[in-house]
Amino acid sequence: MKTRVLFVCTGNICRSPTAEGVLRKAAERTGMADRLEVDSAGTHGYHVGDPPDERSQLAARHRGYDISGLRGRRVSPDDFHRFDLILAMDREHLAILERSRPKNAGCRISLFLEFARNSEEMEVPDPYYGGAAGFERVLDLIEDAATGLLDSLHQSRLPKP
């Protein structure tokens, strides 16, 4: 049985695909990849079918993550039934997801940075309109939260091999 995790940001070209790539790689390193299904989506359809922002790809690549094959998509009603955990990058995304959740959906929706261990921030800032430092900061936060998420899932939700 796999735990299914969906990351959500606005357009699905910066934060959420970065989180998808980081969690996938971290799961591979820890031997948990076969027990996770990871995806990402946006609350808006601005970039459906587009690859991640080139600056996100570059920053990720410098840290060993390849997100070039990912493509933007919008959150769908089926996602609320398909995924066990839907993680929002900021409070605005969280509110949109909570309003959109079908009444009979059993998924948990929360902020991704609730799993961060080394940051008191609760929102992953949008680096889209900034410079390279913003993309590096996003990666720092995402790597921290991904580690915490894997620890949490390993302890409480993932079946033992």
Q: List the chain pLDDT tens, one digit each, 161 residues.
A: 899 999 999 999 999 999 999 999 999 999 999 999 999 999 999 999 999 999 999 999 999 999 999 999 999 999 999 999 999 999 999 999 999 999 999 999 999 999 999 999 999 999 999 999 999 999 999 999 999 999 999 887 554 43
What gap in Å lies between CA 40 and CA 161, rounded to an integer?
Answer: 26
Contacts of 142 (CB under 8 A, 6+ apart): 15, 18, 19, 22, 112, 124
Is 140 designated active site?
no
Q: What is the structure's pLDDT at 156?
A: 79
Structure tokens at 87: 């993680």
Q: Which residues pair with 3 in a beta bridge?
A: 36
Q: Using CA atoms of 53, 38, 141, 106 in order, give the dihedral in degrees to the nearest 10.
A: 120
Q: What is the structure's pLDDT at 157?
A: 56
Would you call 76 helix, strand, or coil by DSSP? coil
Which of 14, 15, 39, 53 is an active site residue? 15
What is the DSSP annotation of 96-146? Answer: HHHHH--TT---EEEEGGGG-SS----SPPP-TTS-HHHHHHHHHHHHHHH
Which of 4, 71, 74, 126 is an active site residue? 126
Structure tokens at 50: 């587009």
Q: What is the structure's pLDDT at 160?
A: 43
pTM summary value: 0.95
CATH class of 3-156: alpha beta
Is 9 designated active site?
yes
Is 74 designated active site?
no
Structure tokens at 105: 């959906």
